[in-house]
Structure 1
Amino acid sequence: MAYLYLGITLFFFSSMEVISKPLMGSVDPFFLTFLRFFIGGLFLLSFVRKRLSLKDILLLTLVGSLNSIISMTALQLSVKHGVASTAATLVATNPIFVSLLVFIAGERLTKKKFVATVIGLCGIVVFAYGRIVGDTFLGIFFGLLASLSFALYSLVMKRFIIKFGALVSTAYSSFFSSLLYGILLIITGKFTSPELSAVNWLVILYLGVGVTGVAYLTFFRAMELIGASAASRIFYLKPIVSTFFAVAFLSEQLGVIKIIGTAIVIISLFL
């Protein structure tokens, strides 16, 4: 059952960049990310029975903003200014940045993790060098920003997950950070609902309920069954599956150097 949960998680997470790419011409990336976390946060909260104090909610809102307001917005901007497979691969490199941040903070890395981090950084350089039609330096920059900020979010969230559990922490952080996101959009005048077709609204619902709701829920269920470390390995397959979706449904092309860079990154993640 755990691997069925992980399969569902992998499918939703890997499809995010591909299915949202066609919306970039008609939906503001900021508003789309707000909607995604508002809908997904509501969905996750429906499974939560634990009530938190106002202080804990405020702290989780701030931490969740690293993910929803910074990381996932940067990811959506990477999709807008580049190709979906590039954005998906770059955000999947976040474990490399986790190791790098831990090392900068003064924690010793094992020899294996140090080598994997160096290989991963080299892979990112090769990957960025092997740009294809549609890739831009701006798209790559936002992809790396998404990965780095998500790595920081993961490290900060660790203490809350230990204290409250993964589902409770993610549900509260996602929903209440989306409310903060909405307030910021209103203040900046970007809170404008676009005129979309019914199909496009279904895509947004898919991103909210599916990618931000169901995928997190199935991931947490798998984590309960086989542990966090084993469940997290599913993210190592995201670049492969996302690239397949991008080639199949968006007709994206892959260059030789980019394929080599992707392979190096995947090797480093497995290490």
Structure 2
Amino acid sequence: MKHPTLIGIAMALCAAALWGTTGTAQTFVSAQASPYWIGALRLAIGSVFFAACLLVGRAGHFAGGQGLRTVWRWALLAGTAVAIYNLSFFAGVKATGVAVGTGVAIGSGPVWVGLLEALFNRQAPRPVWWLGTALAVAGISFMMMAGGADAQVNVAGLGLCLLAGLSYASYTIVSKHLVGLTTPTMATFLVFSVAAVMAVPVAALVSPPWVNSAATWWMVTYLGVVVTGVAYLLFSHALRRVSAATCVTLTLAEPVTAFVLAIVVVGEQPGTLAYGGLALVLLGLLCVVWGETRPQAAGSLP
């Protein structure tokens, strides 16, 4: 039946929409707030959110009789990937600028996951997925290029952004396996607990003291509970219903949300290139959705 697939697609798109509110939320706090602390604290708050969900729902069982040691092994891998993603993304964006850094990190994620699936699962995504992903990535590139002139040629920064994309892809593939061993709530709790334990000490070492104000705490709480907690819980549920490659490509809808919020909330006025990029992203996402919901006959290309 297609219904579970459509539900998974809707969950992935909702997660992307919530992730797309990150940039707008950060515009309401002081520029002195360390991005490393923001990334680390949102992981910690997200972990507390997942713990609360476990207590309320009592969703702590393991599927298929898998032991705690096996689950923790996968959770450690996924948590490490999340921690590396947060730290490399913020460092890369700081070095290259928001437009280029975000475009490289987000745009490379689907390409990495397609290559990883082909390498480890011996099953490359379908051609229609590659077509839709290429259109969406090209659209994001146009939207980022039209966004401003903050780009800087920084090889190390670009490398960090590519590492962020690889880390996100790795997290997705590992989590795809992890949610088959335990519940999505338990999986996200374990993964983000590991990530927070790694990220908070790093933030303390490389960042200035946290800007302790009501605005920064409201913002980081929103990022932890909604953008991390609710969004990643939706994403984990989606991984049970659709392929990892499709989930990652669907999250390219994140810049679409950011684009709309920049117009409605921030008051920006994008140019023609940005709107053209938006159209390409939407067309690419439609291709991916069509490919995921269409039955694959033996020997057929799509």
Tell me the TM-score normalised to structure 2 length: 0.69
**Paired AA for residue 178 in structure 1:** A
Q: How much identity, in percent, do the aligned residues show?
A: 22
Farther-moved stretch of structure 1 (40-49 vs 245-254): 245-254
Query: Which residue does the alignment assign to 1:87?
Result: 102
Normalized per residue, the structure richer in helix is: 1
Query: Which residue does the alignment assign to 1:70?
Result: 84
Q: Which of 210, 213, 221 lines up with 2:229 in the alignment? A: 213
Q: Which of 174, 177, 183 lines up with 2:195 in the alignment? A: 177
1:5, 1:221 within 8 Å by CA — same for their partners in 2?
A: yes
- Structure 1 residues 1-271: aligned runs within 5 Å: 9=15, 11-21=17-27, 23=29, 25-48=31-54, 49=58, 50=60, 53=68, 56-57=71-72, 59-67=74-82, 69-77=83-91, 80=94, 82-83=97-98, 87=102, 91=106, 94-103=109-118, 106-120=122-136, 122-123=138-139, 126=142, 130=146, 132-137=148-153, 144-186=162-204, 189-190=205-206, 193-218=209-234, 227-228=241-242, 232=247, 235-271=251-287
2:75, 2:187 within 8 Å by CA — same for their partners in 1?
A: yes
Farther-moved stretch of structure 1 (140-149 vs 13-22): 140-149
Farther-moved stretch of structure 1 (204-213 vs 92-101): 92-101
Post-superposition Cα deviations, 1:215-234, rounded to whole Å, max 9, x if no partner, equal 3345567888xx446x9586
Which SS does the other structure have where 1:153 is aligned? helix
Farther-moved stretch of structure 1 (235-244 vs 117-126): 117-126
1:40, 1:213 within 8 Å by CA — same for their partners in 2?
A: yes
Seen in structure 2, the aligned counterparts of structure 1 residues 159 and 11 have a Cα distance that, compared at 3 Å, is closer
Seen in structure 2, the aligned counterparts of structure 1 residues 206 and 79 have a Cα distance that, compared at 3 Å, is farther
Count of residue pairs the alignment pairs up: 264
2:112, 2:169 within 8 Å by CA — same for their partners in 1?
A: yes
Query: Which residue does the alignment assign to 2:298?
Result: none
- Paired with 1:98 and 1:127, the residues of 2 have a C-alpha distance of 22
Seen in structure 2, the aligned counterparts of structure 1 residues 7 and 142 have a Cα distance that, compared at 3 Å, is same
**Paired AA for residue 109 in structure 2:** N
Say which one has the larger Rg. 2
- Paired with 1:6 and 1:152, the residues of 2 have a C-alpha distance of 17
**Paired AA for residue 175 in structure 2:** M
- Paired with 2:78 and 2:239, the residues of 1 have a C-alpha distance of 21
- Paired with 2:286 and 2:137, the residues of 1 have a C-alpha distance of 14
**Paired AA for residue 60 in structure 1:** A
Shift of 1:11: 4.7
Seen in structure 2, the aligned counterparts of structure 1 residues 131 and 185 have a Cα distance that, compared at 3 Å, is closer
Contiguous gaps of at least 5 residues in structure 1: none
Root mean square deviation, CA, Å: 3.9
- Paired with 1:91 and 1:164, the residues of 2 have a C-alpha distance of 28
**Paired AA for residue 129 in structure 2:** K
- Paired with 1:238 and 1:204, the residues of 2 have a C-alpha distance of 19
Seen in structure 2, the aligned counterparts of structure 1 residues 148 and 127 have a Cα distance that, compared at 3 Å, is farther
Seen in structure 2, the aligned counterparts of structure 1 residues 260 and 77 have a Cα distance that, compared at 3 Å, is farther
Which SS does the other structure have where 1:195 is aligned? coil
- Paired with 1:35 and 1:219, the residues of 2 have a C-alpha distance of 20
Seen in structure 2, the aligned counterparts of structure 1 residues 270 and 82 have a Cα distance that, compared at 3 Å, is farther
- Paired with 2:48 and 2:104, the residues of 1 have a C-alpha distance of 28
Which SS does the other structure have where 2:33 is aligned? coil
1:16, 1:211 within 8 Å by CA — same for their partners in 2?
A: yes
Shift of 1:191: 6.2
Tell me the TM-score normalised to structure 1 length: 0.75
Shift of 1:55: 5.9
2:143, 2:274 within 8 Å by CA — same for their partners in 1?
A: yes
**Paired AA for residue 224 in structure 2:** G
